Amino acid sequence: MVKKGFSWLVVVLLVALVASTAGGAYYLGQRSSSKTSSKQTDVSISPQSTQEKSQESLFSGSVKKISQDLGLFKITDVDRENDISDYIVYYAAGVFLRGEFKDYTRILAIRPSEGPGPSLQFILATKDYKTYLLDDPENKTTDYPESDWDNPYMYIDKSKISKTVVLDTEHPKTISLEKPYGLIKEGSVLTKFEKKGQKDKNGNDIYQDAPITEFEKTQSLKSTEKQLAFFAGITDWGNGEGYSDTEKKALEIRKKYLHSTTLVHAQDSTGLTYSYILTTQKDINEYLSKLSNYEQDMITYKKQLVLFNEKKLKEYPKSPEYLSLPGMKMTKPLAGFYETYESAFPGACGGSQSTFIVDSVNDEDMEIVISSTPYPLYFLKDNNHPLYKLAYQTKADIDDETYKSVNDGKAKPTYQEYIAKHPLLFFKDAWGRWGVMGEFDIKLMGGCGKPVIYLYPDKSTDIHISFMTPVTLDTQIPIYNNGWLVKAQPDGVLTDLQPQYTDCSKIDSSKFGSEYAKKACHNNTYPYLYWSGKVVENNYPKTNEGWIVEQKDLKNFMNEKLKAIGLTKKESGDMTSYWTPKMKEKNAPYYQVSFLTTNQMNKFIPMKVDPLPSSVLRVFLDYKALSKKPTVSIKPQRFNTFVRHGFTLVEWGGLHK
């Protein structure tokens, strides 16, 4: 949910996409003239014009922002207090040319997140902009309780809906490619944040979700679907100014070899785009075979949750184990190799089901692996290839003791030992590109470092918090058992309502950041929820804004910026006392410091909180140790005023490096 005074910043997300949609507006279905895109035709590709569209197209028209508030969402008193309407946005996404919904205009409706969750998207159709058909292919309006987060009627004004339907689409759930490959669709329309051109009541810029409709020509892939254009996901590694010599070499390798990913952006005839994950048809079939049971288990869980909230069920119901979309993975390809291969060159905190496409290699560089895998696998002949060195640096560029601590006491391999088991396996995808998977046997140092969650309800309240996407946890105080279930007091003091799962004797109070924890466990009284680990499926966000800070100024800088962001003196003190020493461990003369914002964190690490908080502030420290001061300054971040209202959730954390 967009909260009054949220910390909204201009961000560049790790989605390798460009350009904004050209202007233009609809007024009750009447299209106004639109501005011409400033992008050159040799740089970007826009949606097909009406004249260019095939007679088989399902839609006429293209994605256009609707200037008028269609009033489709319920607006509560809390929403009004938080100016929620400023952040709701609607797009017309073509008119149906045929079929049951002929002459209906398709609508994309987006409202900000509820609590610490991602933005909410809904697809509808209308002829008169008075009543609407609601797209509900998974029957969530009937199968889920109306008070449930996943039920559209928790947010949509039911009086505006004439009926729920399954709208025709040019985006299938799965797409067949040349065997053995296939694509499976991710859940949401691909969007970015852009300025609305207006200010909120505090004078801050308002940012809204906007569908991405333009891509670089270099991203174009041959499409297997008549009405879809395919584009490759790309990466942006930055310029690396101020990096150490070792980091600069690693960056040069990434820029030379790792320009694209296996993610495929599929754009329909209107410009509406969904992302698809490259995987195998076999893994898609296995996923689909499990999906029906998973959905039924989820319905049961939702109904049990209602009973728990009504005090008709004593224990909090256990949610089904998260069913992840399949990606490019390989298990036990051959004796003498690593056990598991997934996304290559993983990040410390975020994960991805996509992996990299490799540039600047050819068939002569490869040697085939003799195995019974669904597709041929290869490894590089040159044991000193830069990609091998990058893989080793990614996993083993830490001291021996630290390596042992995160890898179950195993000694760190030498470079030769690491390469001997072939840490990188290569394959040719459906477009003949070289893809790469990396070993996942060795655990990665780092991760999301000590995010802590404070809860401040208006009165003593039982609160349940859980992650909405998979997270592997290194630290959890108290233990995360199907989520955290705590009784929170207005002053933030928490009592664990599932203490039987936390073994106080296993808490290491000598560990930096956990000094308080054993006593808190014995008293069953905690100042906050504490976790650390790695997000399995979501890419780590990036920002190109921040500050260059001298080491001697780090503490004062942190105190100043955290106050501006909206943390209290205690919260700021907790965060500064943990992260300032962590940054200084790098012993660098300068640091590039940025903060991921609430909106970024809601997308990167979405959480469900029951009951919903009225105001949410999430801040995540991102920093880089620099060997020297960059010659080019970066744009400072701006923080909007955060106003606490009602039940408030505050979270801070940072990136372990």
| pLDDT tens digits, one per residue of 189-210 | 999 888 888 877 767 778 889 9
| Six-digit token string for 5 | 């005074």
Structural domain total, the chain:
3
Query: Domain for residue 154, yes or no?
Result: yes
Q: Specify whether the CB–CB gap between 37 and 214 falls below 8 A.
A: yes
Q: How far apart are CA 193 and CA 449, in angstroms?
A: 26
Evaluate whether residue 250 is within a structural domain: no
Over residues 71-84, the mean pLDDT reads: 86
Looking at residue 352, its pLDDT comes to 83
Residue 601, pLDDT > 70, answer yes
Q: How far is CA 124 from CA 50, 90, 153, 266, 273, in A?
A: 22, 10, 13, 20, 16
* 489 and 597 housed in the same domain: yes
- CA atoms lying within 13 Å on the CB side of residue 59: 28
Task: Supply the DSSP string of 511-523, one letter for each residue.
Answer: STT-TTHHHHHHH
Task: Confirm if 487 and 316 have CB atoms less than 8 A apart.
Answer: no
Specify whether the CB–CB gap between 111 and 91 falls below 8 A.
no
Residues 420, 509, single domain; the answer is: no
pLDDT of residue 49: 46
- Please report where in the chains the tokens 């395919």 appear, as a residue: 230
pLDDT in the model for residue 55: 59
Structure confidence by residue, pLDDT tens digits, 231-265: 999 988 887 778 888 888 999 999 999 999 999 99
Domain membership of residue 31 (yes or no) is yes
Q: What is the DSSP letter of 646?
A: S
pLDDT in tens, 436-493: 999 999 988 667 889 999 999 999 999 999 999 889 888 999 999 999 999 999 999 9
Length of the chain: 657
Residues 361 and 505 occupy one common structural domain = no
Taking 70 as the threshold, does the pLDDT of residue 37 lie above it?
no
Instruction: Tell whether 494 and 626 lie within a shared domain.
Output: yes
- Domain membership of residue 305 (yes or no) is no
Q: 612 lies in a domain?
A: yes
**Which residues have CB under 8 Å from 1's CB, separation 6+?**
79, 82, 84, 112, 113, 114, 115, 612, 614, 616
Residues 6+ apart with CB under 8 A from 380: 361, 365, 366, 367, 387, 388, 424, 426
Judge whether residue 358 has pLDDT over 60. yes
- Rounded to 10 degrees, the C-alpha dihedral 571/575/576/580 comes to 180
In the predicted structure, residue 83 carries a pLDDT above the cut 90: no
Which residues are within 8 A (CB) of 491 and not within 5 positions of it... i.e. 6 or more apart? 456
Cα 395 to the chain's mean position, in Å? 23
Instruction: Kindly state whether residues 642 and 525 are assigned to the same domain.
Output: yes
Note whether 60 and 97 are within 8 A (CB). Answer: yes
Residue with the larger pLDDT of the pair 646 and 543: 646
* Per-residue model confidence as pLDDT tens digits over 609-618: 999 999 999 9
Cβ 433 vs Cβ 384: under 8 Å: no
Domain boundary among 275, 307, 339: 275
Q: Smallest Cα–Cα separation from 242: which of 622, 629, 632, 542?
A: 629
Residue that terminates a domain, selected from 415, 439, 463? 439
Q: 527 and 429 in one domain?
A: no
Asked if residue 541 and residue 417 are part of one domain, the reply reads no
296 lies in a domain?
no
Residue 29 confidence class, pLDDT cut points 50, 70, 90? very low
Chain-centre distance for alpha carbon 332: 29
| Contact present, 62 and 271 (Cβ < 8 Å) | yes
| 261-309 pLDDT per residue, tens | 999 999 999 999 999 999 999 999 999 999 999 999 999 999 999 999 8
Which stretch of DSSP H or E encloses residue 215? Answer: strand 215-216
Q: Are residues 408 and 497 in the same domain?
A: no
Q: How many CA atoms lie within 13 A of 279 on its CB side?
A: 26
**Residue 334: which domain range?**
330-439
Query: pLDDT tens for residues 371-422?
Result: 788 899 999 999 999 999 999 999 888 888 888 888 888 999 999 999 999 9
Residue 325 near residue 290 (C-beta atoms within 8 A): no
Helix (H), strand (E) at residue 600 = helix 598-604
Q: Which of 191-200, 206-215, 646-655 has the lowest mean pLDDT?
A: 191-200
Q: Is 650 helix (H, G, I), strand (E, B) or coil?
A: strand
Is residue 291 situated within a structural domain?
no
On whether both 431 and 456 belong to a single domain, the answer is no
Which residue has tokens 């928790």?
Answer: 154
Are residue 486 and residue 594 in the same domain, yes or no? yes
Closest CA to 614 of 595, 642, 640: 642
Each residue of 38-73: pLDDT tens digit?
333 345 666 654 335 555 899 999 999 999 999 999
Last residue of a domain, one of 417, 439, 461: 439
148 and 202 in a single domain? The answer is yes
Q: Confirm whether 598 is domain-assigned.
A: yes
Which DSSP string corresponds to 357-413? EE-S--GGGEEEE-S--SS-EEEES-TT-HHHHHHHHHHH-S-HHHHHHHTTTPPPP
Question: What DSSP string runs through 254-296?
Answer: HHHH--EEEEEEEE-TTS-EEEEEEEEHHHHHHHHHHHHHHHH
Q: Are 73 and 221 in contact (CB under 8 A)?
A: no
CB 475 within 8 A of CB 533: yes
The per-residue DSSP string of 429-483 comes to -TTSPEEEEEE-SSPPS-EEEEEEEEEE-SS-EEEEEEESS-EEEEEEES--SSS
Gap between the Cα atoms of 411 and 402, Å rounded: 10
Return the residue matching tokens 């174009």.
Answer: 220
> For residue range 138-152, what is the model confidence (pLDDT) as tens digits?
999 999 999 898 999
Tell me whether residue 453 is exposed, middle or buried, using C-beta atoms within 10 angstroms of its C-beta: 0 to 12, 13 to 18, 19 or more.
buried
The answer on 488 and 414 residing in a single domain is: no
